[in-house]
Structure 1
Amino acid sequence: MVAIRDLGVDDVDALVALYQHLNAGDAPPTPAAIQAAFTHPGLRHFGVFEEGSLIASCNLMVIPNLTRGGRSYGVIENVVTHADHRGRGHGQVVVRHAVQQAAAADCYKVVLTTGKKDPAVWAFYERCGFDPSDKRAFVIRRPAGGLTTSSRLC
């Protein structure tokens, strides 16, 4: 039986283990990062469980906004399904759940980005209802020394 629910601090070990299927070799989060991730207003983590094991997850951040009549928007990140459970719809279940929760929070849109260059991953997000032609994302990554206001930035 498959169940979906909000994740809490008690789920951290299972979630960090699952994240190895997203970014293998990632260092584990610090206790401060765990605390911040589970107490940040508007940030929710969702998990799909099969026979008590966490097999898929994503998070949703609902961000207050002053445009669009003051309606918030949502950002979905860290979408992952355990490698042994892919291709069975669990990823779609967790992403659709996050989108439903964003709708319940009256978000006017939901944004999702991916760093994956695999067209199959893109097709997955399209099957979940995301339009790849609607927006363009630009990213600045934090270099080892941290973000600065160097001449390379605006």
Structure 2
Amino acid sequence: MTVAVAIRDLGVGDVDALMALYEHLNAGDVPPSQEAVRAVFAHPGLRHFGLFAGDALIASCNLVVIPNLTRGGRSYGVIENVVTHADHRQQGHGRAVIRHAIEQTWAAGAYKVVLTTSRKDPAVWAFYEGCGFDSGDKRAFVIRRT
């Protein structure tokens, strides 16, 4: 029996499923407050996409499209928090949700999409390159609050 797979925008009602999925991204992460959840889902330009197999959320990423004054005023997108449930990896679900986010970025008129990862595994890097990202195009620098 084949289970229907669909990608859709996530909303506040999907938070429990999303938090459970995020355990496969950052196990043991402290869950956000209800106020933080409401603020995140109310943020203009920020979207969370979920790939569902039947009723189960099995892959997700988020996308923010940022207005810009360079490049002719064209915006750019940033994809973050890419995750696929461990039981569903290597089946194309992560690639599908990323492709969906990229398509939404182009539909918003953006000229580029940026994705960063903290993963050091070359297989993860190869996965993102297989999705069309160029690891040699830009260099990312990160500073974290102590």
Same fold (TM over 0.5): yes
Greater mean deviation of Cα atoms: 31-40 or 87-96: 31-40
**Aligned match of 1:75:** 78
Q: Which residue of 2 aligns with 1:6?
A: 9
Match of 1:48 among 30, 46, 51: 51
Q: Distance in 1 between matches of 2:129 and 2:10?
A: 25
Cα deviation for residue 32 of structure 1 reads 1.5
Give the distance between the partners of 1:64 and 1:18, measured in 2 at CA.
29
Please identify the structure whose Cα radius of gyration is greater.
Answer: 1
Matches within 5 A, 1:37-116: 37-116=40-119
- Deviation string for 1:41-61 (max 9, x for gaps)? 000000000021000000000
5+ unaligned residues in a row in structure 1: which ranges?
A: 144-154
- Cα RMSD of the aligned pairs, angstroms, is 0.4
Counterpart position of 1:151: none
Q: How many percent identity over aligned positions?
A: 76
SS at match of 1:55: strand
TM-score, normalised to structure 1, is: 0.92
Dislocated runs of 4+, deviation >4 Å = none
TM-score, reference length from structure 2: 0.97
Which amino acid is 2:95 matched to?
Q
Deviations 1:97-152 (A, max 9, x none): 00000000011100000000000100110010000000000000011xxxxxxxxx
- Residue identity opposite 1:24 in structure 2: A
The code of the aligned residue for 1:92 comes to R
